[in-house]
Structure 1
Amino acid sequence: MFAVYAASMDPKNPLDGLVVGERPDPEVPAGWTTVTVKAASINHHDVWSLRGVGLREESLPMILGCDAAGFDEDGNEVIVHAVISDPDWVGDETLDPRRSLLSERHQGTFAEKVAVPRRNVVPKPAGLSMAEAACLPTAWLTAYRMLFTQADLSPGDAVLVQGAGGGVATAAITLARAAGFRVYATSRDEDKRRRALEIGAHEVFESGARLPVKVDAVMETVGAATWSHSVRSMRPGGTLVISGATSGDAPSHAELTRIFFQQMRVHGSTMGTREELRRLAEFMAVTGTTPLIDAEIPMENAAEGLQRVIDGDVFGKIVLTR
């Protein structure tokens, strides 16, 4: 079958190991099923895999991709949940120490078909296209869990989203506005600040700028470059939810004194559960919210989309289609 896969890994030149070609049809263990992929979105995880982060050399060749939307074996439109937990695990699968994502230990979604546990297949909302639905399982699910599970926010609360432009950040802006929060966003890029206003931010600021109010929560994916600003932008008792550190994980100032003296909470967040993905899909349907897509690219041209992610030249999600 057609597939886009990592044949080798290179930390400095990640695309050197990318192959667009043919791979065997997926093996389907007991309790698993196959999904015919119509759309799959690109995540930073795919670039990290090509760099050799989180992907073992003995697992090569590995089909890339975590997210997908397509048809199940009965012809139903479905979304694929990317978190693969141990079959015996009970409860929040993101807390399973043996969990993995598609394209780590199991072949990924940049292919004609992908095999997944039956419980990892979620109905697709009728109001979303395949490309839009393919944006949900990683970036949008991460943003949903950050806002609605980890942050303890109520309608009318103020939230700051750092680094407007990335998939999680744009999802957080859109979801937060749809949920009735007051949304502030930052970016170094003037065009990204303008576009953040278009998708729902009430006000936008240059990175590091002082906000007009102290916010109830911060959605942090940038890391070292914005950490101090995130902490200083919160009210006493506020919550900082972090799900990534694209600028590094060693800020120059940890702000520990401010965190404990003002009784702030720092909450880590990773992906989301199958149930949260179902609730996210329902939220999208009820509110009429749609994911922001930067570009739809034929899966054969996956290298083009991956290069744009590497360059940071993205606002929203890049989706590969078949």
Structure 2
Amino acid sequence: MFAVYAKEPNQEKPLDSLVVGERPEPSVPEGWVRVAVKAASLNMHDIWTLRGVGIKPDQFPMILGCDGAGVLDDGTEVVLHSVVNAPGWQGDDTLDPKRTLLTEKHQGTFADYVIVPKRNAVPKPAGLSFAEAATMGTAWLTAYRMLFVKSGLKPGQTMLVQGASGGVSTALVQLGRAAGLRVWVTGRTEEKRALAEQLGAHQSFESGARLPERVDGVFETVGKATWGHSLKSLKPGGVVVVSGSTSGPDPSADLQRVFFLQLRVLGSTMGTRDELADLLSYLDLAGIRPQIGAELPFSEAEQGFQSMLDGATAGKIVFTR
């Protein structure tokens, strides 16, 4: 079957490991289902897989793609939940110490077919296209959990999103606006800030800019480059919710500010299968649609990977067939 995969880990030149070609069609074990993939979205996790992060060398070649939407053999249209739990796990999907993601142990979605546990195939709302649904499982689910499960923010309060144009950031802007929060964002370029305002941000600022006032919550996916600004932007008792560190994982903790102002620092990773179902229902009810920055055929996957490496994103990059 057709697939886009990583042939081997390559830390320095990840795209040299990217192959658009053929892989064996998967067999379907008991309790799993086969999904004919109609669309799948690109995540930074796919770049990390090409670099060999979070995956052992003997697990290559690995079909890429955490997210996807498609059709079961019986014709049911589904969205994929990419967190695969250990057999018998009970509780929050994201707290399972033996959990894994598609592309870490199990082959991913950038192919004609992918297999997942039956519970990981969530019914797709009819109002969402396959391309839109394919953005839900990682970026949008991460944003939903950060905002609605972790932050504790309420309508009328002010939130700051660091970085204006990535998949999680654009989702946070849209979700925050729909939930009745005042949404501020930072962005490196005028184009990125304009995109955030187009999606519903009330104000946008240059990266590191002094804000008109301190905020109730900050949403962090950038890390080292923005961490100091995030802490300085918070009101006493405010919260920063962290789900990534794309500019580096080693920010200065600034512990004096944390304890003196009684700031809360919360980690957030992905989300649960039930949260994904709630997210899909919420988008359907609110009429929200994800920002897709580029939609490309799977055969042009390398172009999408290069855009992500270059930081040339304006929402999610989606591959379709």
TM category, shorter: over 0.9
Equivalent in the alignment of 2:99: 99
- How big is the shift at 1:15? 1.0
Alignment-mate amino acid for residue 277 of structure 2: R
Equivalent in the alignment of 1:281: 280
Distance 1:126 1:234 in 2: 40
Alignment-mate amino acid for residue 268 of structure 1: G
Alignment-mate amino acid for residue 193 of structure 2: R
Equivalent in the alignment of 1:313: 312
Distance 1:78 1:283 in 2: 16
Equivalent in the alignment of 1:38: 38
- How big is the shift at 1:211? 1.2
Distance 1:41 1:188 in 2: 24
Task: Give the match's secondary structure for 1:173.
Answer: helix
Task: Give the match's secondary structure for 1:45.
Answer: helix
Alignment-mate amino acid for residue 318 of structure 2: V
Task: Give the match's secondary structure for 1:285.
Answer: helix
Distance 1:186 1:41 in 2: 24
Distance 1:234 1:149 in 2: 19
Alignment-mate amino acid for residue 139 of structure 1: A
Q: Deviations over 1:100-159 (max 9, x none)?
A: 100110000000010000000111111111000000000010000000000001111110
- How big is the shift at 1:225? 0.8
Task: Give the match's secondary structure for 1:138.
Answer: helix
Equivalent in the alignment of 2:195: 195
Equivalent in the alignment of 2:210: 210
Alignment-mate amino acid for residue 271 of structure 1: M
Q: Runs ≥4 in structure 1, deviation > 6 angstroms? A: none
Equivalent in the alignment of 1:14: 14
Equivalent in the alignment of 2:183: 183
Distance 1:12 1:313 in 2: 20
Alignment-mate amino acid for residue 135 of structure 2: C
Equivalent in the alignment of 1:290: 289
Q: Deviations over 1:298-322 (max 9, x none)?
A: 0011111011101110010000001
Distance 1:64 1:237 in 2: 41
Alignment-mate amino acid for residue 286 of structure 1: L
Task: Give the match's secondary structure for 1:209.
Answer: coil
Alignment-mate amino acid for residue 120 of structure 2: N
Q: Deviations over 1:203-260 (max 9, x none)?
A: 0001111111211111000001111110111111111000000111222x42211111
Distance 1:279 1:73 in 2: 24
- How big is the shift at 1:77? 1.1
1:1-322 map, 5 Å: 1-251=1-251, 253-322=252-321
Identical amino acids, percent of aligned pairs = 60
Task: Give the match's secondary structure for 1:308.
Answer: helix
Distance 2:129 2:246 in 1: 29
Distance 1:308 1:66 in 2: 18
Distance 1:19 1:224 in 2: 32
Q: How many residues align?
A: 321
Alignment-mate amino acid for residue 217 of structure 1: G
Task: Give the match's secondary structure for 2:271.
Answer: coil
Task: Give the match's secondary structure for 1:297.
Answer: strand
Distance 2:9 2:281 in 1: 38
Alignment-mate amino acid for residue 181 of structure 1: L
Structure 1 residues without counterparts, runs of 5 or longer: none
- How big is the shift at 1:84? 0.4
- How big is the shift at 1:31? 0.6
Task: Give the match's secondary structure for 1:184.
Answer: strand
| RMSD after superposition | 0.8
TM value normalised by structure 2: 0.99
Task: Give the match's secondary structure for 2:281.
Answer: helix
Distance 2:17 2:226 in 1: 32
Distance 1:64 1:56 in 2: 14
- How big is the shift at 1:27? 2.2
Distance 1:102 1:27 in 2: 16
